[in-house]
């Protein structure tokens, strides 16, 4: 039985600890006048050679999207009321598929359940691991709704030793996104000037300590950065640059995606103030973040969406919500692509 396979055990252990961090928080024709301007013009020219210092490493998109992701189907480490599906079941039940070139990850929105029962959902993770890079995720839609807790994130081995980077995360019908890092001791935001980001600092300490697993986190100040309002605006792009200088995250609404991203020659130098900035000043990045698998999942209730259910203004109990399939019509990821670049 798969339960007794050592690989499964290791995987379950890694992922269970990996999720533990989520416990408590929760142009023009004008001649360029100087170099910086010249660079940004060049970055927007998709025909110029060498416009971007970053080279495409991996493109996850379209019909072969699922070939390089694994479906995690162990118990949810964050205690959500979900049955994560293996690849065969996920595809047979139409919970994971590619349509019009868009990858869809869905929660079962057709089965009536007993109150307290678990609902079918999806959690996938890349087979490849990364220890740096420029990651660009284009989401047409993301899951939302009472009890719904989706995340686009990455995690290293032996949590929190290998670190965790949460790029897109929230619960229920909240309109704002949260950006979070989780680490071992010796990593914080330091004297970061909040003006170097467009978001609010929620907590400056990245390290988990005792039961405090809040991590260092920012809350996006834009009320279209998550959930229904994000989807209504046709989604957008989350881009994060992870290198020895730190981890920076940019969020672009659909109508403001830089041309260099669209043309697959991204150059963050022209993107302006990031939504979240985790500089290396008070955190040795290479020491705290390594060998990350990229993860996309949707869970229900559990450690984050459970305790916050009532205060979010959701009716009844979280278990009652899960029983009703109509609550999950909008609990879907529509992923245009995820691209990984390196320089
Ligand atoms: C883009 O760059 C190429 C090569 O450097 C140049 O020939 C072309 O005119 C540029 N296009 C625009 C729109 O600036
Ligand atoms: C695919 O295109 C059809 C027809 O325009 C549309 O109804 C459907 O929602 C699209 N699916 C996705 C996943 O975007």
- What is the DSSP track for 98-111? EETTEEEEE---S-
pLDDT recorded at residue 196: 86
Among 127, 137, 154, 132, smallest CA distance to 59 is for 137
How far apart are the CA of 100 and the centre of ligand 2, in A?
6
How far apart are the CA of 99 and the centre of ligand 2, in A?
7
* Per-domain boundaries in the chain: 6-342
Query: Which atom of ligand 1 lies nearest, measured to the CA of 45?
Result: 1
What value, to the nearest 5°, has the Cα angle with vertex 249 and ends 287 and 329? 115
Assign 272 to helix, strand or coil. Answer: coil
Active site residue 319: no
How far apart are the CA of 336 and the centre of ligand 1, in A?
27
pTM over 0.95: no
How far apart are the CA of 150 and the centre of ligand 2, in A?
22
pLDDT recorded at residue 241: 98
Among 67, 103, 20, 108, smallest CA distance to 333 is for 103
From the list 63, 99, 169, 319, the catalytic residue is 169
pLDDT recorded at residue 5: 35
* Closest-approaching ligand to the CA atom of 263: 1
Please say whether the beta carbons of 127 and 142 come within 8 A: no
Ligand 1 contact, 42 CB (< 6 A): no
Q: Count of CB atoms within 10 A of residue 184's CB?
A: 17
**Which of 62, 98, 99 is the best mutation target for the ligand 2 pocket, counting ligand atoms within 8 Å of the beta carbon and taking the most?**
99
Query: Which atom of ligand 2 lies nearest, measured to the CA of 140?
Result: 14
CB-neighbour burial class of residue 29 (10 A; exposed 0-12, middle 13-18, buried 19+): exposed
* CA-to-CA separations, 58 to 14, 116, 173, in angstroms, rounded: 24, 40, 32
How far apart are the CA of 97 and the centre of ligand 1, in A?
38
Pair of tokens at residue 213: 């697993």
Active site residue 169: yes
pLDDT in tens, the chain (343 residues): 333 333 333 333 333 333 444 433 333 333 333 333 434 444 454 444 456 899 999 999 999 999 999 999 999 999 999 999 999 999 999 999 999 999 999 999 999 999 999 999 999 999 999 999 999 999 999 999 999 999 999 999 999 999 999 999 999 999 999 999 999 999 999 877 777 889 999 999 999 988 899 999 999 999 999 999 999 999 999 999 999 999 999 999 999 999 999 999 999 999 999 999 999 999 999 999 999 999 999 999 999 999 999 999 999 999 999 999 999 999 999 999 999 999 9
- Strands 82-84 and 119-121: what pairing? parallel
In tens, the pLDDT along 29-51 reads 333 333 334 344 444 544 444 56
DSSP structural state of residue 278: E
Kindly report the protein residue whose alpha carbon is nearest to atom 4 of ligand 2: 100
pLDDT recorded at residue 210: 86
Please say whether the beta carbons of 126 and 68 come within 8 A: yes
Instruction: List all residues 6 or more positions away from 216 whose beta carbon is below 8 Å from its beta carbon.
Output: 180, 181, 187, 188, 189, 201, 203, 204, 205, 206, 278
For the domain spanning 6-342, the CATH number is: 2.60.120.200
Distance CA 223, CA 218 (A): 14
Ligand 1 contact, 61 CB (< 6 A): no
């Amino acid at each position: 039985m798969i339960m007794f396979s050592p690989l499964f055990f290791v995987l379950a252990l890694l992922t269970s600890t990996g999720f533990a961090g989520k416990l408590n928080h929760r142009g023009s024709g004008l001649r360029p006048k100087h170099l910086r301007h010249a660079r940004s013009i060049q970055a927007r020219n998709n025909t110029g050679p060498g416009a971007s210092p970053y080279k495409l490493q991996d493109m996850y998109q379209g019909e072969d999207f699922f070939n390089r992701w694994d479906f995690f189907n162990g118990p949810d480490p964050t205690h959500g009321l979900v049955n994560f599906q293996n690849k065969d079941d996920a595809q047979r039940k139409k919970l994971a598929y590619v349509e019009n070139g868009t990858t869809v990850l869905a929660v079962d929105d057709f089965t009536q359940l007993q109150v307290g029962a678990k609902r079918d959902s999806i959690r996938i993770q890349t087979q490849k691991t990364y220890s740096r890079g420029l990651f660009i995720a284009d989401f047409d839609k993301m899951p939302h709704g009472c009890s719904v807790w989706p995340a686009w994130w990455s995690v290293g081995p032996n949590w929190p030793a290998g670190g965790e980077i949460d790029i897109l995360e929230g619960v229920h019908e909240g309109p704002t996104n949260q950006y979070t890092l989780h680490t071992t001791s010796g990593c914080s935001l330091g004297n970061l000037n909040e003006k170097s980001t467009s978001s609010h600092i929620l907590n400056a300490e990245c390290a988990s300590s005792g039961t405090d697993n809040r991590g260092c986190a920012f809350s996006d100040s834009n009320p279209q950065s998550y959930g229904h309002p994000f989807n209504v605006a046709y989604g957008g792009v989350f881009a994060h640059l992870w290198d020895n200088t730190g981890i920076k995250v940019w969020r672009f609404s659909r109508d403001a995606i830089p041309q260099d991203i669209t043309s697959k020659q991204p150059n963050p130098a022209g993107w302006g103030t990031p939504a979240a900035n985790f500089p290396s000043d008070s955190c040795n990045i290479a020491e705290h973040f390594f060998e990350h698998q990229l993860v996309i999942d949707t869970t229900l209730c559990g450690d984050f969406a459970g305790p916050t259910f009532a205060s979010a203004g959701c009716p009844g109990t979280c278990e009652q919500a899960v029983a009703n399939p109509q609550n999950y019509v909008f609990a879907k990821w529509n992923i245009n692509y995820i691209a990984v670049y390196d320089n």
